[in-house]
Structure 1
Amino acid sequence: MKKYIFSLIAASFLLTSCDREESLLQTEPQGNVSADQIQNLLKAFPEKATTVLGGAEAGNNNYLIQFNTNGASAHDDFGYMSVRTGLDHMTNDLVMTQSHWFNSYYNYLARGVSNSRTQMVWKYEYKVIYNMNEVLKQLLGAQEGDSKHIKGRALAMRANAYMDLLLTYSVGDQGVPYYSKGDRVVENPGRLPVSQVWNYIIEDLTIAYDLLQDYTRADKQSIDKNVVAGFLARAFMASGNYSQAATFANLARQGYAPMNSTQLKDGFQFISNPEWMWGADINSSTATLYASFFSHMSNLNQGYAGLLGVYRTIDSRLYNQIPATDERKSWFLSASQNGLPKYANVKFYDNTFFEGDYVFMRAAEFYLIEAEALARSNNESGAKAVLEQFVKTRDASYSAASYSGAALLKEIRKQRRIELWGEGGEWWEMKRNQEDLVRDYTGSNHATFGKLNISHTDNRFIFQIPQVELDVNKEVNNP
């Protein structure tokens, strides 16, 4: 794995903490580098200015994979994957066998106003937004060369952070505080309406997609037009524009073929996997050791799962829906084996010392989004064609011909739950599909401390804005 060298200026700017006795949406500049210095860097060395995005996109000093973003040294706080992994612990499909790190997500306490996990999620996302706003402030009107590419990537990162916040914290039509710099200047410390936040997200992503049309990235750690198309597909699905969701899902997956049988069993540890669209190339300099994805999610590695036995397994109901002919059945144990419990996942493992790469986005998701979006747009033949094309790469005997109507949507939903198990995003899908949490059932393999049944209409499906924000921002509340 490569090591990356970043400018001292960019690193010190982006990694300056926002832990101050002020709102997490503070508007004044922070850090040791002035706005003039950043602007001079962008003007004088535009080809090197991508280092400014290093704190949110790629390489060493990468905020996406930084340990301790919340300042509490918690081992379930290691950047973007800790957010996605934490929320996955709130689903029906992921089982945690012992109470340890991530247990507050599993038992639905993480979303409480005074819980450090809601504070971590909130601070992480708004720090990304702050960083990107500081970049965009220096790129007013940029429409050419490297500057426009940097602008496009910053817009996309900001939009993705707002999308995460909206999916996690919105209540009815009450969205989240919105703050932007650059071509659009907005200061709204209150809960902006959900529809307005979606408008801003989609506007930013549309501009970013156009700005990145002629951009060729150095590696998969950087955002390009395919990744932005993926963000747009997610945003259009979440906001109910199925026609556009299908269009951008198809655009997102272009050039990325589904992985083959061998690659399906590579441990999901290599960013070189041809299906991965965006991820982090972890190396000895960026590895966060026991506070990392593989430490918690790999039952086969030296970490909290593999070493201490805080195993992650699949829900038995979902496992039983995977046909024996499906390659993905081998991701989970059919019986207790080598000390691991029945249903333990062997999907994730890395053959290094915590240097397994992180996947943030891969093409499989967009086959499934396209299929669902087509089905919801009354194009069942198109939906079944896309679904069958994809699932046949996992199960050669698969056919989608018999599905239609609600049964087709249910089948697409099942395929997504199987395919993307443990990769993040499932709790947001449960909310979008208005699905209840049902873990206490006859034959349940869920741990006692997480054996909950919660209606999707329950307030526990909404994260509360953390107390640290309420203390300094009187414009927000938790209904």
Structure 2
Amino acid sequence: MKNISKRAGILTLVLGISLSSCKDSFLEAIPETSLSDATVFATPDRILSQVNGLYGSAKNGSLYGGRYQIYNDIRAEEFINRTTNTVTGYTTYQGNQDPSDTYIASFWTRGYLTINMANLLLEGLDANPGVVSDQLATNYRGEAKFVRALTYFGLVQFFAKPYALDNGASPGLPLRLKGETTSDNNDLARSTVAQIYDQILKDLNEAEAALPDNYSTPELRTTRAHKNSAIALKTRVMLAKKDYQGVITEANKLVSATAPFKSSNRVAHELLADVVAVFRAPYTTLENIFSFPMSVNDAPGTQNQIGYYFNAGNVEYFINTGPTGIYSNPQFPATDARKSKLTVATTSVSANPSSTKFSGVSPYIDYVPMIRYAEVLLNLAEAEAEAGSLVRARALLDAVHHRSDPTYDFGTLDKAGLIQAILTERRIELFAEGFRSNDILRRAQPLNSFGAGAVIQPTDNRYIFAIPVIETQTNKAL
């Protein structure tokens, strides 16, 4: 996103997503940069700019444009740092980040800015009926609630203890559901983790009801939230709550009862035959449920871009091939396309390989995949293995793995072995997409931090990020 302006008393981010390949007016809306309270919701184009700006804020490099995914991956055991560069997450990698860390603080502030934009958009739509059709206003409300839910979920994963530790009784986050244009209401205590999860799921349920079934182009279907986007995100949130029956119920809206697994509702999501194509232009396959688009004029910033960190062209972090990393796991053999086609030797800087999942070169403008159908299948597989059908869980696991390695044989698996195989499959399939540390924390397991050289227990202060100083200094209720 570009042309960001801030002004008290108005909705502060009003701009359009710039994509050179897009032909739809949604992505070609003219940015507005300085509008008064009386006019910011005065026309359909200006309201559309608020929606565009909301997505743009969420995909900022400090939030979901890169750092969320990168920090979740480098905290654990899959990557080894090469550059010792503080700007590219070295303190997080080492596990010695503190509340004064400005890069973690930027995730917090960008997250709450995005939440505030969603709140202001919802209030502005309510206060200005009739400017757009009721149907379109409902659509926009659904998008605002989807983005607010996604953002709160990222924040609660980073800055609060996992739900599984105490069923959400731990302190969570300040729950801000009203638009703020001044600092008058800065002081707000933390709601519990459970209360944050309740609000996330409330938003997603309401988003599902409000969002459209589909959009007119593959680009819009991938980059704007629709009903299946909200449903898919619910499976992720419910999995983090260990609400396995809830995951099964929601996932069944998207996944057929038996193989070959695909969605027969709304958008026909399915696994792409070639896993590599999921991560290559145009990034709009039926496997890509929701992604954040990037372009040459709309990149997330050099040291926020996932490719900048992991690609062979720069390699801030190369792959851990040691016994703790997934690369050497027997479930990830050389015959697997995810290894043979999505990793490459980087002998110029290290004997270790690097990832090519995000293959672009500077300015590294690969779309950022936030929700893929493969993840939904693995969410459902884990839930079925924990609380449903072991047969279906195994079939889902086979579907994901055999897409990339059709000859691999899992053999006979009991329940514990099946769950472990599914968790291992997540490490392989979702590698470098920002899932690793959250998959550890959501099950309240110790975090094996390669960078810290330690196994960090749930009782350790390093297990989660502390609320940044920038918040504790201005919010006296914390």
TM range (shorter): 0.7 to 0.9
Q: 5 Å matches for 1:42-441?
A: 45=44, 49-57=47-55, 62-66=56-60, 77=62, 80-100=65-85, 101-110=88-97, 112-140=98-126, 144-171=134-161, 173-181=170-178, 189-214=188-213, 216=215, 218=217, 219=220, 220-252=222-254, 254=263, 255-261=268-274, 263-264=275-276, 268=280, 270-288=282-300, 290-301=302-313, 304-305=314-315, 310-317=316-323, 318-321=326-329, 322-331=332-341, 337=347, 339-350=349-360, 353-400=363-410, 402-439=412-449
Measure, in 2, the Cα distance between the counterparts of 1:274 and 1:117.
34
Measure, in 1, the Cα distance between the counterparts of 2:359 and 2:350.
14
Measure, in 1, the Cα distance between the counterparts of 2:106 and 2:441.
21
Measure, in 2, the Cα distance between the counterparts of 1:187 and 1:211.
30
Cα displacement (A) at 1:399: 4.3
2:469 aligns to what? Answer: 467
Rate the CA distance shift 1:333–1:280 in 2: closer, same or farther, 3 A.
Answer: closer
2:165 aligns to what? Answer: none
Measure, in 2, the Cα distance between the counterparts of 1:52 and 1:453.
44
SS of residue matched to 1:428: helix
Q: 249-258 vs 377-386, which deviates more?
A: 249-258
SS of residue matched to 2:283: coil
SS of residue matched to 2:370: strand
Unaligned 5+ segments in structure 2 are 15-32, 162-168, 180-184, 256-262
1:24 aligns to what? Answer: none
Measure, in 2, the Cα distance between the counterparts of 1:347 and 1:217.
28
One-letter code of the match for 2:435?
Answer: G
1:71 aligns to what? Answer: none
Contact kept in structure 2, 1:228 and 1:252, CA below 8 Å: no
SS of residue matched to 1:130: helix
CA displacement, residues 183-241 of structure 1 (integer Å, 9 cap, x when unaligned): xxx99810112222211111111011011144526512211111111221111111222
TM-score by length of 2: 0.79
Q: 396-405 vs 85-94, which deviates more?
A: 396-405
CA displacement, residues 379-416 of structure 1 (integer Å, 9 cap, x when unaligned): 21121122112221111123456122111111100000
One-letter code of the match for 1:132?
Answer: A
SS of residue matched to 2:199: helix
Measure, in 2, the Cα distance between the counterparts of 1:299 and 1:153.
32
One-letter code of the match for 1:147?
Answer: A
Unaligned 5+ segments in structure 1 are 17-30, 68-76, 440-445
Rate the CA distance shift 1:459–1:6 in 2: closer, same or farther, 3 A.
Answer: closer
One-letter code of the match for 1:196?
Answer: Q
Measure, in 2, the Cα distance between the counterparts of 1:40 and 1:80.
30
Cα displacement (A) at 1:429: 1.2
Pairwise CA RMSD: 3.2
Cα displacement (A) at 1:109: 2.7
One-letter code of the match for 1:209?
Answer: E
Contact kept in structure 1, 2:441 and 2:447, CA below 8 Å: no
Aligned length: 422
Cα displacement (A) at 1:473: 0.9
SS of residue matched to 1:406: helix
SS of residue matched to 1:40: coil
TM-score by length of 1: 0.79
CA displacement, residues 160-197 of structure 1 (integer Å, 9 cap, x when unaligned): 11111212212452111001138xxx998101122222
Cα displacement (A) at 1:252: 4.7
